[in-house]
Amino acid sequence: MLLTTLLAMAPMAAQQPIDATLDTQMPPVTLGNGGFGTQATGGFDNFDRANSGDLGPDWTNQAGAIGITGNRAQGITNVSMFTLNGVNDNYATSTMSAKVDNGNAGLAYVALVAGFADTSNNVFVKLQDNNFDSLMDRVFFYYGNNGGSWGSTTYYYDLAVPTATATIHLSFDNGGDRAVFMVENDTSGNTETFYGDNLLSVAGGLGTGFGMGTYGTCFADDYTVNDGGAQMSLSASGAPGGSMTFDISGATPGTGVALMWAYALGNYIIPNGFPCAGTELGIAQPKGWVILNSDAAGNASYTRFIPPGARGLVHCQALDLSSCGLSNVLSL
């Protein structure tokens, strides 16, 4: 019934500074209470889609520009930051990871962003080529979009063996007071672990979002938050003006899945009193939904006629009513 309505309608210094992307070092930040969400969600993006000047509707551009090149995310402008829609959780109990490739970019970094409230208030931990030799060699623990130290005892470290490619991981321990950053080094084959402490001194300003940042034209791939959540996928065959089939995969087997639609992209948070309250969608306030049942493999499907007027107007997303995981956003 739902879909009836749905569908009917850095400057460089003369000498190498501590951080080549900053003119000056930022002072530590001290703020009040916050940073601890309640809705456990996860997300994943392997960027396997057409080349583009941005990351698409699953992401919100917070600063600069990051696009898609060759099925990987690639920085376009310096000090860029994007956040992943629909992921809202307590930073202190969350984990993140991504594959990084300097791409012979020289001065460049890829950062993992947790506890995002806004561009000035987030945990920002990066792996950087700090001496312009096309090898990632230094780790920084920052507060805000490339914003400088939050006051950790040690806020930067050098890799034992610089590398052009690696997999980076960010997690937290000591009740959220310490950030733990691991680098799986593709050159040495070893994993190095680094720590940024005293994080509770700034946790009051943090939010519950997640994202990534870039500097230079480096690459990122296989971006994951909290093991990817349900990693649901929403796809469709056919086109507005005819019959369309909406296919959902990766849902919790044998559970309800809500296929929702809206007239715009957005960051709508499901209110209290509804299933999965607190989950942040990648679409505006839904205008309707249909509840499907996933099979033993976690798949669900829905077919109906879609009027031609839905083209370019309707945006869909699936919600796993068991895990509260979200699919990608599908724009008709």
Domains belonging to the chain, first-starting first, are: 19-228 (2.60.120.200), 233-331 (2.60.40)
CB 202 within 8 A of CB 143: yes
Give the other-Cβ count within 10 Å of 159's Cβ: 21
What pLDDT, in 10s, does the model give residues 124-178? 999 999 999 999 999 999 999 999 999 999 999 999 999 999 999 999 999 999 9
Residues in the chain: 332
Residue 110: pLDDT above 50? yes
User: What's the pLDDT score for residue 229?
Assistant: 58
What pLDDT, in 10s, does the model give residues 12-64? 333 457 888 775 444 444 333 444 443 436 788 989 899 999 999 889 999 99
Neighbouring C-alpha atoms within 13 Å toward the C-beta of 68: 16
140 versus 331: the higher-pLDDT residue is: 140
Alpha helices per DSSP H over the chain: 2-8
* pTM beyond cutoff 0.85: no
Residue 303 belongs to what H/E stretch?
strand 300-306
User: What's the pLDDT score for residue 101?
Assistant: 97
What pLDDT, in 10s, does the model give residues 268-326? 888 888 888 878 788 889 998 999 999 999 999 999 999 999 998 999 999 989 878 88
Give the other-Cβ count within 10 Å of 6's Cβ: 25
Place of tokens 């296989």: 222
